[in-house]
Amino acid sequence: MNNLPDSNLAIEFNEITKRFSKINALNELSLAVKSGEIFGFLGPNGAGKTTAIRIITGFIKPTMGTVLINGLDSWLDKEYISQTLGFVPDNSNTFSSRSGAQLLEFWTGLQKTEPFMREEIIDRLDFPRDALDRPVRTYSQGMMKKLNIIQAFQNDPRILVLDEPTSSLDPLVQKNFFEMLMEFKEKGATIFMSSHALAEVEKICDRIGIIRKGKIIATENMSSISAKYERRMEITFADDNTPDLSSIPNVIKVVKKGNTLYLRVIGPVSAIIDRFSSYQIQDLVFERARLDDIFLSYYDEEKDNNA
Amino acid sequence: MTRKKTIMLSVLNYTLWSHRGGLFFVSFSIISFQVLIALVWNSLGETAAVGFIELLPDDIKNLMESQFGFIPSAGIGGWLASLNRHPIYIVLFSTFAISVGVSSVAREIETGSILYVLSKPISRSKFLFEKIVAAIIGISILNLVGLIGLLLSLVFFSNDNPQYSFFYVSLNSLLLFCTVNSIAVMISAGSEDSGAVTGKTTAVILAMYFIDFLSNVWPYVSPLGSISIFHYYQPSKIIENGLLPWSDFSVLIILAVIFYGIAIFVFKSRDISR
């Protein structure tokens, strides 16, 4: 790996505004991603995710504000930053008559570092080796996406910027891909990714940022998310004798159906457990806060505010 | 497992390789065109060919003089060299020059391949500069093919000796079509729609061609002739004088440098958002 100037923050958006004609794609967006973390960048289509990613990678110049990558300006120092940056664009179309192997060599020639991880990544993504000699215009979307990932990861980058990296990948390859991301993180790489695969983002991301209409509306730490968001609890008792849990402060709602209590809770649950521990329990289901619920809750809030 | 290395390690090689089909096709067409013209000349014989042209109505003769600049005294060599201004020749070269120019930026963005290239440590100016050098090399190859075709036609169909002026004509053609390419690159640099770039560039080149044509045959329009790049491409004059037309060359070089410069400036400062 090449060494860029050290900094605790790998990626910093400082009040970034990006205007296309009369449309504000990003609106005073500020965000910081720490070195060595996996950051999930979430939002619906058209929220500004790809614009933000293209600013990090130096394809778009902000109208106002700066994006710093390890302390360097993403627009002015793009050439230097790219030495240790791997980028997987959302757009995987290419109509080239060149083979996959030729394209990888071409991209390697531009990167100017040895692609010593290429073989390993080809294997892990289950990329058929004989397909490397075929023109890429004959590739399926999934194969093109794999080639796209190989070119970004093959030089062992220090920062990975991934725009919808798992779209078109089958579940098994997705699993291998996320394992690979964890290994890159363990080696100290910073990963900034947008994805609609919320279940996977939830598993691997350290933090998430939710963007809407070009503004960050929430950044959350995945480890503390359970303390902040509503979770569902389902307790089935052996008989009709059930405790009254509605008076416990962390319980938002209780619905009783037969022997079962359906609870919506937030924060610590020790008080709830204390209350029902003297009762005979037949079954207990307690779900983690789900990212898709959190994601949707922000959008519902926005809708309510706009209504 | 050992990695297979290829020679395609730069944007320049990559671009030239991409256009190898076009280069081959246009080269083949140029040679065929020259052989066809030489065969016509040869089958008529020099006297008959000149006599045939003399028999044409004045308007057609004017047109031929203005557009092809035919000089009967220059023989088959002059005939072939002056045909560098034939519409077919201009269409063949312009097609290549415009196509390479369009693909320099607009088509790269359209297909998304620019995202892979520019995410690597290569500056935008270096990327476009290599594209421009590849285009100039491609156009030079075509001109070299044209020159070789002309010399071969002379060897096979006449006893005329090659003159330096043939090389000058080829150089004038190189500069003209580099200028055509520079216009295409300049329009392409700010766009992401290759169809629109092809349309706009073709419209500009056609407009210039007709301005030059009209300025040659219609005195009222002649003052406008100098705004067309074709005004600075005069194979017949070169054949006639045997001299290097420095002023025409200078204008074309300056225009090409300005257009390429604008293209690099525009490309460096634009967003790639598609």
Helix axes B75-82, B124-157, angle to 10 degrees: 150
Q: Are residues A130 and A157 in the same domain?
A: yes
Domain presence at residue B3 = no
Query: Is B121 within 8 Å of chain A by CB?
Result: yes
Taking CA B212 as the corner, what is the angle to CA B211 and CA B214, rounded to the nearest 5 degrees?
65
User: Which pLDDT score is estimated for B63?
Assistant: 66
Distance of CA B273 to the CA centre of its chain: 32
| Spatial strand order in the sheet of A23-34 | A23-34, A9-20, A64-69, A72-73
Query: Is B265 within 8 Å of chain A by CB?
Result: no
Confidence of residue B200 (pLDDT cuts 50, 70, 90): very high
Residue B6 has pLDDT above 90, yes or no: no
Q: Which domain holds residue B89?
A: 11-269
Query: Is B8 within 8 Å of chain A by CB?
Result: yes
Instruction: List the 149-178 stretch of B: residues with Cβ below 8 A of A.
Output: none
Residue B5 has pLDDT above 60, yes or no: no
Tell me how crowded residue A216 is: count the other CB atoms within 10 A of its CB. Answer: 20
B271/A58 CB distance under 8 A: no
pTM value is 0.85
Confidence of residue B7 (pLDDT cuts 50, 70, 90): very low
d(CA A206, CA B146): 64
The beta-carbon neighbor of B120 closest among A50, A107, A148 is A107
Enumerate residues 6+ apart whose C-beta is below 8 A from A143.
A127, A128, A131
List, for residues B141-151, the tens digit of each pLDDT value: 999 998 888 88
List, for residues B212-236, the tens digit of each pLDDT value: 888 877 888 888 889 999 999 988 7
Helix, strand and coil in chain A, % to nearest 5: 35, 30, 35
* CATH number of the domain within which A274 lies: 3.30.70
Higher pLDDT, residue A300 or A87:
A87
B121/A80 CB distance under 8 A: yes
d(CA B35, CA B156): 10
Lowest-pLDDT range of A19-23, B7-11, B78-82: B7-11
Instruction: Summarize the confidence of residues A172-201 as an average pLDDT.
Output: 90
Domain presence at residue B4 = no
Tell me the β-bridge partners of A234: A262, A285
d(CA B221, CA B212): 9
A59/B122 CB distance under 8 A: no
Between the alpha carbon of residue A209 and those of residues A39, A195, A230, the distances in Å are: 7, 11, 18
Domain presence at residue A303 = no
Q: Are residues A248 and A166 in the same domain?
A: no
Tell me the CB-side half-sphere exposure of residue A94, using CA atoms within 13 A. Answer: 26
Domain presence at residue A298 = no
A79/B121 CB distance under 8 A: yes
Distance of CA B101 to the CA centre of its chain: 12
Q: Are residues A280 and A163 in the same domain?
A: no
Higher pLDDT, residue A303 or B153:
B153
Question: Maximum Cα–Cα distance for chain B, whole Å?
Answer: 74
Q: Do A157 and A84 meet the contact criterion of CB atoms below 8 Å apart?
A: yes
Q: First-to-last CA distance in chain B? A: 37
List, for residues A282-292, the tens digit of each pLDDT value: 999 887 777 77
Q: How many independent structural domains does chain B possess?
A: 1
Confidence of residue A4 (pLDDT cuts 50, 70, 90): very low
Tell me the β-bridge partners of A38: A191
Enumerate residues 6+ apart whose C-beta is below 8 A from B142.
B23, B26, B27, B30, B93, B96, B177
Backbone angles phi, psi at A221, to 5 degrees: -90, 125
A96/B9 CB distance under 8 A: no
Q: Are residues A216 and A250 in the same domain?
A: no
B11/A110 CB distance under 8 A: yes
Residue A304 has pLDDT above 50, yes or no: yes
Instruction: Summarize the confidence of residues A190-196 as an average pLDDT.
Output: 91
DSSP state of A92: -
List, for residues A15-73, the tens digit of each pLDDT value: 999 999 888 899 999 999 999 999 999 988 888 999 999 999 999 999 999 999 999 99
d(CA B83, CA B70): 8
User: Which pLDDT score is estimated for A69?
Assistant: 95
Per the listing, tokens 């390993």 go with A120
Torsion, Cα A233 A239 A244 A249, to 10 degrees, reads: -20
Instruction: Summarize the confidence of residues B95-108 as an average pLDDT.
Output: 94
A82/B8 CB distance under 8 A: no
Enumerate residues 6+ apart whose C-beta is below 8 A from B202.
B94, B98
Q: Are residues A133 and A63 in the same domain?
A: yes
List, for residues A144-173, the tens digit of each pLDDT value: 999 999 999 999 999 999 999 988 888 899
Q: Are residues A220 and A259 in the same domain?
A: no
Instruction: Summarize the confidence of residues A210-224 as an average pLDDT.
Output: 86
Count Cβ–Cβ pairs < 8 Å, chain A vs chain B.
89
Confidence of residue B162 (pLDDT cuts 50, 70, 90): low
Q: First-to-last CA distance in chain A? A: 51
Residue A5 has pLDDT above 70, yes or no: no
Q: Which domain holds residue A210?
A: 9-224
The pairing of strands A231-237 and A215-221 is: unpaired
Between the alpha carbon of residue A262 and those of residues A161, A275, A299, B63, B258, the distances in Å are: 41, 15, 25, 93, 74
Domain presence at residue A124 = yes
Shortest distance between the Cα of B109 and any Cα of chain A, in A, equals 10
Q: Are residues A97 and A246 in the same domain?
A: no
Q: Are residues A100 and A248 in the same domain?
A: no
Instruction: List the 14-73 stretch of B: residues with Cβ below 8 A of A.
Output: 14
Token output for A283: 């079954």
Instruction: Summarize the confidence of residues B193-200 as an average pLDDT.
Output: 95
User: Which pLDDT score is estimated for A244?
Assistant: 84
d(CA A74, CA A82): 9
The beta-carbon neighbor of A82 closest among B3, B11, B121 is B121
Backbone angles phi, psi at B123, to 5 degrees: -80, 155
User: Which pLDDT score is estimated for A36?
Assistant: 94
Helix axes B46-55, B75-82, angle to 10 degrees: 50
* CATH number of the domain within which A113 lies: 3.40.50.300
Lowest-pLDDT range of A3-17, A70-84, A265-279: A3-17
Tell me the CB-side half-sphere exposure of residue A144, using CA atoms within 13 A. Answer: 22
A89/B116 CB distance under 8 A: yes
List, for residues B16-60, the tens digit of each pLDDT value: 888 888 899 999 998 888 888 778 777 777 666 667 767 777 767
Residue B205 has pLDDT above 50, yes or no: yes
Residue of A18, A59, A79, A129 to mutate when probing chain B, most B C-beta within 10 A: A59
Q: How many independent structural domains does chain A possess?
A: 2
Residue of A93, A97, A106 to mutate when probing chain B, most B C-beta within 10 A: A106
User: Which pLDDT score is estimated for A176?
Assistant: 92
The beta-carbon neighbor of B120 closest among A60, A103, A111 is A111
Residue B195 has pLDDT above 90, yes or no: yes
B119/A80 CB distance under 8 A: no
User: Which pLDDT score is estimated for B49?
Assistant: 67
